[in-house]
Structure 1
Amino acid sequence: MADKELARVRGRFVEKVSKALIKQLLDDLLEDRLLNDGETDSVLEDNTGKADMARCLIDMVRRKGDRASRKMIQHLENRDPTLHSELGLTCKPTPGEIPAPQNQHAWSNSLVTTTDSFWNEKRKSKDVYAVSDESLRSRVALLITNRNFANERLTRKGAEKDEENMEKLLRSLGYEVVKHNDLTAQVLHTFAEHPKLRDTDSVFVVIMSHGKRECVFGVNHSEENKDEFPVDNIYRHLGPQECPALMNKPKIIIIQACRGETGGSVLVSDSASAKVVSDDVSQQLPANGGGKIVDDAIRYVHKEKDFISLLSSTPAHATC
């Protein structure tokens, strides 16, 4: 019986489980309707320490019988397989029950966090960037969204939705988000002086605008007024020379902008006599003229498809 399994590992569960995992298990059991709101609140609010919360949770579930206990064991295995294995838990289905399919991963609209054991293991590794509790509290990200341009034809309709989703993602990862909207090309200078950069363990810079190969456009950009921000300036402003606070820290740059005016795909045919039908992606699929072209033999492929490029130096720098 599953409730006896929980009784067997009770002491080690109380010792090893984290507070974050307790909350996750409570959420799972609440969603299964095996616990109610009052019971979940009782576990968290009526107990001062992590160990007492763990004792309260496992005893509460055990008293509810085999089904609730089996569900908790299953959720523990999904949430923290390492702890589940360390406890040596087993949960055989009752007669007539169909076991749940294994290795099925459903899509989620919310961030799925890693297991505590994996997180703690990586934090202690010398092969990853150092992360501390202080650096987690000091994480900071820059989010620039240019939607409304002086030239109304360039208005990026729907950009506010991209901004909303990106901000949600960054905040869920623990970053304070410094937001700017509808900017000209002068902005990154001030971010490089943000007071939290000294203590953060990493930085995100997200820029969403129009652009071309080596530049992102400010909102005043036009043919006459080149309001451009060179992408290379990001590396200069946040590099060790101008921003030593970010030395030896990951700096993740995300740019949502065009890098030219031509399409990135070509229209190709499976026919041996016509490898490329057109490199103009605006062209419609050609009509079937006299049976010479078969519609389902024509498709678009990316121009740089299947390339892997390894360069010995970064742009504009000599190979040492």
Structure 2
Amino acid sequence: MSIFEPEDTSLGRWRIAIRHETALSYDGPVRASYNELRMTPLDTAAQTRLSSRVEVGPRAQTSQYTDYWGTRVTSFDLQDPHESLTINASSVVETSPSTWAEPDSAGLRDATWEAIEDVIESGDLAEFTGTTGRTRLSPALREELRERVADGGPHTAAERVCGWIHEAMSYVPGATGVHTSGREAWESKSGVCQDFSHIAIGMLRAAGLPARYVSGYLFPLQESTPGVSCEGQSHAWAEYWAGAWYGIDATNNVAPGLRHVVVGYGREYGDVVPHKGIYLGSPDSTLTVSVKLTRLA
């Protein structure tokens, strides 16, 4: 069965609560720190944010803005000495089935390569057509990719990319780091969702499809009932443009749907790091992160 088979719309919408906790302990006093957080879910056509809150300790005044890529950013700085930092981001969202199930998507699914090329030539999606350090492919892989997608339309190409990556690579936590490129992960045939997404973006762009990185969360249980809670983690997948944005989750070989929560977009991971900052003090620190997801309805 195609990963793009529409989800059962009788499932309606899910309501999911997310609690993302980050704790940093420094080996000595930190005199100042400056931080950016990308942990607040977005409002999209398939998702509605019902509530969100970010709390930090020591207490600090926070501000919010939307960055160039459309991601909601919470920023704050601490000017008093401190030896630890805690960040608790909580939210409740309602999610919908995959957009492939939307009634008005049928026409968009027929987008031709020529129509996509026209949009690329216009420059409107230029940021999502080039290569970056994390999404660059080897010449040999680009050649093999062209052979695999040569006889299909845009959506067929995307589906083949998703299935190929899922079959070829193994999900191995700890096998890679945040600085690992998709090419390195592909050569080792192992990695985490970030790596699956980077190689997918590289392949989609090489195939002629504008593609972007999506950061968010995934409710890990395929079958659940309201009231079920589980430990989770940040998740990533890719979207490509073919008349509209469509998602592929190569880690799980599915089209994103009810279990996926969107937090932000970018060219690659570097544009949507959940917590990014600098501080003045001891160079050594210990980081602990936990994510809990609860299906409320």
TM tier, smaller: under 0.3
Larger Rg: 1
Where relative contact order (Cα < 8 A, 6+ residues apart) is larger, the structure is 2
Structure with more strand by fraction: 2
Structure with more helix by fraction: 1
With normalisation by structure 1, the TM-score equals: 0.19
